[in-house]
Amino acid sequence: MSQLKVSRRGFMGLLGAGSGGLVLSASLSGCASGNNAVQSPSPEALVLNAFLQITPENTVHFYLPREEMGQGSYHGLTTLVAEELDVLPERITVQHAPVNKAFNHPEFGMQGTGGSTSMKVSFYPLRQAGANARAMLVDAAAAELGVSPAQLKTEDGHIITTSGERHPYGRFVQLASTLPTPENVPLKNASDFNLIGKQRPRIDGISKSTGTAQFGIDVDLPNLHKAVIIRSPVYGAKPVKFDATEALKLADVAQVFAIDNGVAIVAKHIWTAKKAAKLVSVEWSNVPLASQSSTHIRDDFASALDTSEGEEHFKSGEGVQALQQAESSENSTVVEAEYWVPFLAHATMEPMNCTIQFNGPRCDIWLGTQMTGAVQSAVAYHGELDKENVFVHTTLLGGSFGRRGNLDYVVEAVEVGQAFSKSHPNTPVQIVWSREDDMRHDYYRPAALARLKASIDDQGQVQTWAATRSGGNMMSYILDEVIDVLAPGFLPNGMVDWLSKRGYGLFENWVVDPSSVEGLHEDYDVPNKEVRHVTVDHGMRLGFLRSVGHSYTGFFKESFMDELAIKANMDPVEMRLNHTQSSPRLNGVIREVAKVAQWGKPQQGRFQGIAAHRSFDSYVAQIAEVSVEGSKITVHKVTCVVDCGRAVNPDMVKAQMEGGIIFGLSAALYGEITFKEGAVEQSNFHDYRLVRLAEAPEVEVHIIDSQEDPTGVGEPGVPPIAPAVANAVFQATGQRLRSLPLKLA
Amino acid sequence: MIHFMLNGEPVSTDVPEDTPLLWVIRDYFNLKGSKFGCGMGLCGACSMQLDGVSTRTCILPVSAVEGRHVTTIEGLGTADNLHPLQKAWVKHSVPQCGYCQSGQLISASALLAQNPNPTEDDIANAMSGNLCRCGTYPRIKDAILDTAAGGVAQWEPPGSDNAPSADSVSDGVAQEKSVAGGEA
Ligand code: FES
Ligand code: FES
C-alpha cells in the first residue's frame, strides 16, 4: 500500500503543479518533444491521486504503474481502478507512468515490472485509488446537488440521483478539487464486482490489432537518426581498431565511432546504416571467453558435481544423510538421475532498441523496459547527469520475458547518444538491434546440470529427496549491471566499486543464488530433503527468462517425480496426490487436471503425461497429450489447471497459460543456444526455432475458483509443460528423456 | 522514381532501389504498423499484402513493387472501421504484446480473401510464416474460424461508441510526417 502514502497534494508537488484548488495537471504520456509534463489532458483536470485524473469533459486518465509487455497489466490494472471508480475500462485513457517514486513497485522499492507480481501488488492499492476517487466525486456531487452522498449512486462515469438523473463525473471535478481527499474508503465486496472476475475483451486489443500500438521501435522524432552497432562476436571483447573508410563514402552516413562494446554507425536511414556496417572492418581484443565452447560445458558441470559437494541451499530432516540408511535397507529403493538443459535466448519479437537525445545537461530516452526507474538511474550514472534531468518515456514492450529487465541496451545508447551529440547536438538517435545482434548478445537462461537422488519406501512414499544443481548464476550478472547504477544513492563510491567487482564472484563461494535452485524441492512432502549448488560459470552472460530458475527446475523435479512413480509402481497422478497432502492448493490443481483431462483415457494413439509446479505463488498442473512417430514428437493437446487466487480477468489468465505453454514448448522441443570459441552459434529463427501455429497444440485452461488474493500468471504456465511432454513421451516410447530440447533416439 | 499503390492511394518514392519495402513504408511513409522482426523473411512481422498475397517485406527491395498494390495493416481497417478479422482479434483478445499481430492479420486477411471457409489445415498452412513469441496461436485460429463463420458480423467491441483512442499511450509523440524521399 506504500503507493498510497503519496497524497494527492504530495503528488501535485511532485509534478510541480499548481497548489490547491484546480490544478494544472500534467499528462504524463510516454513520448513528447521534451518535458516530462506535457500536454495536459485539460488545464482543469482534477488530479485525484498519482494514478487518476479526471477532466471536466469526463475523460479519465489512468497512469499505468507497471509496464505492458503482453502479460496484460494494461488491461488488468485498468480493470482494478475501473471497478472501484465505476467507469468502464475501455473509457479510460491509459498513460504510461513517468518515473516517480509514487509509482515504485511496493516490493522492489523501485519502479519496475517483473516476477509476475503486477496484479498481486496492485490488487488493493489501485482499487483503493479508484474507491477514494469515486468517494471524492460523490461528496462533491452531493454538495452541489444538495443531497446526502448516500442518496447517490455511480455507474459508468456518472453520478445517478434517486430520480434517475445522470451527471457525468466531469461536472463535479472543480468542486471535488476543493474538498478534502478521502483516504481508505471501504472497497467493494466481491459480490458487488461488475468487472473483476468477469469476461471482457482486453482494452489494448484495438490498438494492437490496427497497428497503432506504439513500441520502442516505432518512436519517431524530428530529425531522428538511426544507428546500428557492430558488436563483438564474443561477449566482452572490445574494438581495438576499425576501418570505416568505405562506409563513410556512402551518402547519408553521419558518423562512425568506437564505443565500449563495438563500433557504432549512425546514418539518417536504417538501411544506409546497415549497408555501411557491412563495409566496416573491426579488430577485437582477446577475452578469456573466446577459449570456451559449449561442447565441453556439460562435462565441466559433471566433473564439478563429481568433485565438489558445493554449497547447501536447503536441508530438512536428515537431508542427504538419510539416503545412506535407505541404500542398505531392503524396504527402500534408491533412484538416481541426471538432467540437463541448455542455454536459451529470449527472442522477443521486437528486437532490442532504444532512442535517445542529449541536449546539454538534459537527456530524453524512449524505450520499452521492465526497469523504468533503473533506466533513469543508469542514464544519469553513465551519462554523468542529474537524475532530475533524465526523462524516461516508456512505450509498450514488443515482448520481454525478462530481457528488457537488463540495461545493456540503455547503457550503450547513452554512449552512442553522447558521442553523436558532440557532432549533432540535440539530435535524437535510435539504436536498432538486428535479430542477429539480439540472438547473440542476450542474457541467456543458464544451462544447468542437476543430479537428483531419492529413496522410496515400500509404500511408495518418497523418504529422501536430494538435488544438486551445477551451472552459472543469473544474479551475478544482474548485480554487476545494476549495482553501480542503483547503489550510489546509499553507498560510498569506493564501496560501490568493490561490490560491483564482487557481484560476479559473490555467489561462487558465499551464498547460493536462490534463482539457481528455486523450485527444486519445495513442492512435495518428503521428510528428508537437501538441495545443494555447485557454481561453474564459463562467462556467458546470464539473465532471467520467463519463470527464471523454475524454467528448468520444473523439468528436473517433475520428470524425476515421474521416474519415482514408475519405480514405485504408482500412477503418476496418485503419486503426486500422495505427496501434496500438506499443500491443498497444489493437490487441488493436480486432482482437477486429472479429472478434466480424463487422465488414463487418452485418445487412440496418444499418450498422456502430467506435471505440476508451484511458482510465483501460483499452482499449475498440466496434462499433455502426445503422439510419437519415428523420432517426431507431436503435442496435440494440453490441459492446464491454474490456481492463482482470484482471477481478476479470467480470460487473461487463460491467455497467459496458453502463452506460457507455447513459450515453454519451444524450449521443450527446439530451444538451444550453443557457442563456439566464445561466439553464439545461432543467429536467427532458422537456427533458433520457435513453435509455429501448425505445431501449436490445442490448449484448454481451467481456473480454480478462489477467494484468495491474486498471484502470478505471466510465468507459472511455463515450468510444467516440458516435463508433462517428456512424461508423455516416456509413456509412448519407454524412453526417459532427461535433456532439453527433447530428442528421441 | 518508383510508383506503386499504397493502401489504395498512388504513391512514389526515390529512395535507393535496394531499400527493403518494410523500411520505406515505416520510415518514409511513416506507417509504423508493419514491424521488423528478423530481416530474413523468417518471422512474418513485416508482412504486407502485395497484390493480395501476404509477403515478407524485410527482404523485398522497393523496386519490386513498381506498379503493384501494397496493403499494410493501416489499409486493412482502423479503430473506427475495423476489418472483420480485426474485430475478431479484439473479441477473442488475441494480442498479447501485440508486436507480431499486424503481420498475423495481414496473412489471415489474405487467406480469407482467397478462401472464405478455411479448414484448420488451411489456416496452419497460411499462418505458419508468422511467428508469435507470446504464443497467441490458439486464439488466432479461433478468431479466423469465428470470422469465417460470421461470428463477428454483428459484434462490436464494448464501449465502441467511445473506443479508447487507439494509441492513447502514444499521444504526445512528435508524429511529424517526414516525407523526404516519399510523397503520398
Ligand atoms: S522481419 Fe520480415 S520476416 Fe521477419
Ligand atoms: S503477441 Fe507478442 S509476439 Fe505475438
Q: What is the pLDDT of residues A631-676, one digit of tens each?
A: 999 999 999 999 999 999 999 999 999 999 999 999 999 999 999 9
Residue A14 has pLDDT above 50, yes or no: no
Q: Do B93 and A655 touch (CB under 8 A)?
A: yes
Selected for mutation to probe chain A from B14, B74, B76, B133 (highest A CB count within 10 Å) is B133
Q: Are B99 and A349 in contact (CB under 8 A)?
A: yes
**Ligand 2 centroid to residue B45 C-alpha, Å:** 9
Q: Verify that A178 and A264 share a domain, yes or no.
A: no
**Ligand 1 centroid to residue A653 C-alpha, Å:** 29
Q: Which residue has the cell 465486496?
A: A189
Q: Verify that A423 and A466 share a domain, yes or no.
A: no
Give domain status of residue A439, yes or no. no
Q: Are B140 and A705 in contact (CB under 8 A)?
A: no
Residue A35 has pLDDT above 60, yes or no: no
Give domain status of residue A60, yes or no. yes
Q: How does strand A262-267 pair with strand A281-284?
A: unpaired
Convert the pLDDT of each residue in A536-563 to its tens digit. Answer: 999 999 999 999 999 999 999 999 999 9
Q: Verify that A245 and A387 share a domain, yes or no.
A: yes
pLDDT of residue A481: 80
pLDDT of residue A101: 86
Using the 3D structure, point to which of A198, A232, A263 is the last residue of a domain.
Answer: A198
Q: What is the mean pLDDT of residues A142-150?
A: 96
How many beta-carbon contacts under 8 Å exist across A and B? Answer: 270
**Ligand 1 centroid to residue B68 C-alpha, Å:** 20
The verdict on the CB of residue B97 being under 6 Å from ligand 2 is: yes
Please give the DSSP secondary-structure letter assigned to residue A714.
Answer: T
Give domain status of residue A207, yes or no. no
What CA–CA distance (Å, rounded) separates A570 from A335?
Answer: 15
Q: From the CA of B127, how many Å to the nearest CA of chain A? A: 7
Number of domains in chain A: 3
Q: Are A663 and B135 in contact (CB under 8 A)?
A: yes
Residue A581 has pLDDT above 50, yes or no: yes
Q: Do A70 and B101 touch (CB under 8 A)?
A: no
pLDDT of residue A50: 85
Q: Verify that A390 and A524 share a domain, yes or no.
A: no
Q: Verify that A309 and A281 share a domain, yes or no.
A: no
The verdict on the CB of residue B132 being under 6 Å from ligand 2 is: yes
Give domain status of residue A506, yes or no. no
Give the ligand 1 atom nearest the CA of B46.
2
The verdict on the CB of residue B25 being under 6 Å from ligand 1 is: no
Kindly indicate the confidence band of residue A476, based on its pLDDT and cuts at 50, 70 and 90. Answer: confident
Q: What's chain A's average pLDDT?
A: 90
Give domain status of residue A208, yes or no. no
Give domain status of residue A741, yes or no. no
Q: Verify that A171 and A279 share a domain, yes or no.
A: no
CATH number for the domain harbouring residue A543: 3.30.365.10
Determine the structural domain holding residue A36 and report its residue range.
31-198
% of chain A surpassing 90 pLDDT = 84
What CA–CA distance (Å, rounded) separates A689 from A691?
Answer: 7
Give domain status of residue A529, yes or no. yes
pLDDT of residue A487: 58
Residue A501 has pLDDT above 50, yes or no: no
Q: Verify that A580 and A688 share a domain, yes or no.
A: yes
Q: Select from A31, A205, A269 the Cβ nearest to the Cβ of B95.
A: A205
Could you give the domains of chain B? Answer: 1-72 (3.10.20.30), 76-155 (1.10.150.120)
Q: Do B32 and A218 touch (CB under 8 A)?
A: yes
Q: Are A500 and A483 in contact (CB under 8 A)?
A: yes
Q: Verify that A308 and A332 share a domain, yes or no.
A: yes
Q: Which residues of A462-491 are buried (b: 16+ CB within 10 A; e: fewer)?
A: bbbbbbbbbbbbbbbbbbbbbbbbbbeeee
Q: Verify that A223 and A323 share a domain, yes or no.
A: no
Q: Verify that A126 and A175 share a domain, yes or no.
A: yes
Give domain status of residue A691, yes or no. yes
Q: Verify that A185 and A258 share a domain, yes or no.
A: no
Q: Which residue has the cell 512435495?
A: A524
A732 phi-psi bin (left φ>0, alpha ψ -120 to 50, beta other): alpha
Query: ω into residue A488 within 30 of 0, thus cis?
Result: no
Window 328-387 of A: residues touching B by CB (8 A cutoff) are 347-351
Q: Verify that A544 and A682 share a domain, yes or no.
A: yes
Residue nearest to atom 3 of ligand 1 (CA): B41
Using the 3D structure, point to which of A432, A462, A486 is the last residue of a domain.
Answer: A432
Window 642-671 of A: residues touching B by CB (8 A cutoff) are 651-652, 655, 658-663
pLDDT of residue A224: 98
Per-position pLDDT tens, chain B of length 184? 999 999 999 999 999 999 999 999 999 999 999 999 999 999 999 999 999 999 999 999 999 999 999 999 999 999 999 999 999 999 999 999 999 999 999 999 999 999 999 999 999 999 999 999 999 999 999 999 999 999 999 999 987 653 433 333 333 333 323 333 443 3
Q: Are A606 and A617 in contact (CB under 8 A)?
A: no
pLDDT of residue B173: 31
Distance of CA A150 to the CA centre of its chain: 43
